[in-house]
Amino acid sequence: FFVDKNVDELNSCPQVKQAAAYLQRGELVAFPTETVYGLGANAMSTAAVENIFVAKGRPSDNPLIVHIATTEQLHDIACDIPPVAYTLIEHFWPGPLTLVLPKKEAVSPRVTAGLNTVAVRMPNHPIALALIKASGLPIAAPSANRSGRPSPTTAKHVLDDLDGRIAAIVDGGPTGVGVESTVIDCTTSIPTILRPGGVTKEDIEQVIGVVDIDRALVEKEAVPKSPGMKYTHYAPKAPLVVVHGSSTFLQQLVNEKRANGFKVGVLTTEEGRHTYEADTIISCGQRSDLRTVAQQLYDALRTFDKTNVDIIYSEAFPNEGIGAAIMNRLLKAAGHEQMMEK
């Protein structure tokens, strides 16, 4: 279904009503959020949630985020909500911040992969909010990609991955942020960021002071507290290497591979797209505004999959602000393959 997110009365829009009816019947509906497209199911129904894992080919120990449209719905899902969580909600909801909270009994253990906590967020997207309200349900929704593929930022990406496996896609155009929400665990004495995302660490610190970062995000060996972070997500078909250093250094790496007969891709930005010579050069936004890089990163990775390159070299980005989320996704896509200029 195509839906214009700017129309009034989205709640009574026939496409949204039809999609809500599918959700009430336990079927799967992909819908836009401000981060990436989600694959929704009734969070209170174990059978409906099972369908998500089947459609995505998702490992069953990876819990889902429950999406809500009102703060009242929060109390159907979570309990013992600490004051710091309310502060975060006040500042960042609706928006790309997911809170991990103690879970209510009624939430299906399939949603939380058996954990006693639940991840909740209120997306900042008119279609997502209208759909959740129209269904009257909390909606469990991971990103609407096949497991191991980059998250979808357009309805076309969802169709490429899940055509024939789901009841409907609500097409609201490209998403805004482009990388997934920040996940923050509010059950620890100092809240802990488990996944960097649309709301930056710096944004959160401004509001609640000190926050921790899950060790696994900094140390390669540590076991992540967020089960999903241990999987090699977002991997493009060709091996990807993140290059720290000058464009001259990156070009040298490209030249060496090409001299050995390999087809080489370069992932760069508008600023760099004319400085390289390679078989495929893709720009993912402007380095001067890293939000544009977050928006276009996944589409760029998917575009490489349509080319015949044997290896991709990517520029690196500053590891702060939204750059932290970009580098986290890029390094995961690269399986942590990196080259440093001496």
Binding site for ligand TXA (CB under 6 A): 33, 35-36, 38, 62-65, 96, 98, 100, 112, 115, 117-119, 123, 141-143, 180-181, 183, 194-195, 226-229
Measured distance CA(254)–CA(259) in Å, rounded: 9
Query: According to the binding rule CB under 5 A, does residue 98 interact with Mg ion?
Result: no
> From the CB of 213, what's the least distance to ligand TXA, in Å?
14
Query: According to the binding rule CB under 5 A, does residue 153 interact with Mg ion?
Result: no
- What does 69 interact with, of ligand TXA, Mg ion, none (CB < 5 to 8 A by kind)? none
> From the CB of 270, what's the least distance to ligand TXA, in Å?
25
Instruction: Choose between 75 and 274: whose C-beta lies nearer to ligand TXA.
Output: 75
Instruction: Choose between 143 and 226: whose C-beta lies nearer to Mg ion.
Output: 143
Which H, E and C letters describe 265-322, residue by residue?
Answer: EEEECCCCCCCCCCCEEEECCECCEHHHHHHHHHHHHHHHCCCCCCEEEEECCCCCCH
- What does 268 interact with, of Mg ion, ligand TXA, none (CB < 5 to 8 A by kind)? none
Tell me, residue by residue from 117 to 146, as one string, x for binding to Mg ion by CB under 5 A and - for no binding: --------------------------x---
Instruction: Choose between 76 and 305: whose C-beta lies nearer to Mg ion.
Output: 305
Binding interface with Mg ion (CB under 5 A): 143
